[in-house]
């Protein structure tokens, strides 16, 4: 019996630890050959021989288990290095089939205290990093599709966050970057559908090195797997990367602790028409002020109830 991802190749960014590591291991377990990307050590980006850094350690873990993997230690937020990452996958495995964007950093601070660098660095790694790899992978799939005269196999799984969905007062940079990733994903899903490529986005909740302070003290009592273990997230990524998920495109899913929630797209809650050629201040006051006065106090566009989701 063949494995779901047998014969396919994948890139996982930020895969040296935490969520990315769990995702890379899961894709390999399902049969994919994996490029394990993790920034910080000299390696397959052309900057020197691979060392035993996190990317090489995860790649070796995959190979020891009987899989196929190579490390890449370039910076996905650098346009050139992101292109080299995609080229490495094509050179090593003949083609690229799956792109999992996971790499990210945190620089938490309230908006009135945030520095320019704290804003720029988070937007760069998360949002620009997702764009960079997507851009080169998309070009690869478009070229292959045009050459073949038919659709090809392509899967993108991007990583957003509940910080975008529910709002996060101390993470304006992170929430903005993760919201941008949702927009990037839905745009990409529409642009690449005709080439056979799907693009979906997940909002994972997991205890990793990056989030250990955020989730400190949230371990639920009892034996067994931590409800915030990355192992709860990886199977969904493997599924979305598989042929079985061909009909899923441009979707947003929340995943953690043995639970997957499918989020609905925004819907129009109310509509107001001017009785004149255009609205006046007084007309808007007469329509919108009572409308919002009747809404729950403190309610915003953010869906804070998502944070209360648990396996039932």
- Model confidence over 265-281: pLDDT tens digits? 999 999 999 999 999 99
Q: How far is CA 141 from the centre of its chain?
A: 19
Lookup result for tokens 């639970």: 259
Specify the pLDDT at position 176. Answer: 98
Region 211-224: mean pLDDT is 54
- What pLDDT does 15 receive? 98
> Residues 128, 153, 168, 174: which is the catalytic one?
174
Does the annotation mark 161 as catalytic? yes
Per-residue pLDDT, averaged over 251-267, amounts to 96
pLDDT of residue 213: 54
What 3-state DSSP class applies to 157? strand
Instruction: Return the percentage of the chain with pLDDT > 90, whole number.
Output: 88
CB 228 within 8 A of CB 205: yes
Indicate the pTM of the whole model.
Answer: 0.92
Tokens 């994996």 belong to residue: 34
**Residue among 30, 11, 86 at smallest CA distance from 242:** 30
Residues of the chain above pLDDT 70, percent? 91
CA distance 37 to 80: 15
Q: How many residues does the chain have?
A: 312
Q: Supply the mean pLDDT for the chain.
A: 93
CB-side exposure of 271: number of CA atoms within 13 Å? 3
Catalytic residue among 161, 168, 195, 242: 161
Q: pLDDT-derived band of residue 46, with 50, 70 and 90 as boundaries? A: very low
- Which run of H or E residues covers position 176? helix 172-192
pLDDT of residue 126: 98
**Confidence class for position 202, pLDDT limits 50, 70, 90:** very high
Would you say residue 312 has pLDDT above 90? no
174 is catalytic: yes
Of the pLDDT bands very low, low, confident and very high (cuts 50, 70, 90), residue 42 is low
Strands (E), 101-189: 154-159
Residue with tokens 């009892």: 222
Catalytic: which of 168, 178, 195, 242? 178
């Amino acid at each position: 019996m063949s494995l779901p991802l047998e014969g396919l190749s994948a890139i996982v960014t930020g895969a040296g630890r935490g969520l990315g590591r769990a995702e890379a291991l899961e894709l390999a377990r399902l049969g994919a050959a994996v490029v394990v990307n993790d920034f910080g050590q000299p390696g397959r980006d052309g900057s020197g021989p691979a060392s035993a850094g996190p990317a090489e350690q995860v790649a070796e873990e995959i190979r020891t288990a009987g899989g196929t993997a190579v490390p890449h230690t370039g910076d996905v937020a650098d346009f050139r290095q992101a292109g080299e990452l995609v080229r490495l996958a094509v050179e090593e495995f003949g083609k690229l089939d799956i792109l999992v964007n996971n790499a990210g950093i945190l620089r938490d601070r309230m908006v009135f205290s945030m520095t320019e660098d704290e804003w720029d660095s988070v937007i760069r790694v998360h949002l620009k990093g997702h764009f960079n790899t997507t851009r080169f992978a998309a070009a690869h799939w478009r070229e292959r599709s045009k050459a073949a005269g038919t659709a090809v196999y392509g899967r993108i799984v991007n990583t957003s966050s509940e910080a975008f969905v529910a709002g996060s007062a101390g993470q304006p940079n992170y929430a903005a970057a993760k919201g941008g990733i949702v927009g990037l994903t839905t745009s990409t899903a529409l642009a690449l559908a005709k080439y056979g490529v799907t693009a979906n986005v997940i909002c994972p909740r997991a205890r990793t090195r990056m989030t250990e302070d955020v989730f400190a003290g949230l371990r639920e009592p009892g034996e067994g797997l931590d409800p915030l273990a990355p192992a709860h997230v990886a199977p969904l990524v493997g599924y979305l990367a598989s042929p079985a998920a061909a009909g899923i495109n441009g979707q947003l899913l929340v995943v953690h602790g043995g639970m997957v929630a499918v989020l609905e797209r925004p819907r129009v809650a109310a509509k107001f028409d001017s009785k004149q050629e255009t609205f006046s201040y007084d007309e808007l006051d007469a329509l919108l002020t009572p409308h919002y006065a009747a809404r729950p106090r403190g309610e915003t566009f953010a869906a804070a109830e998502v944070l209360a989701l648990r396996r039932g």
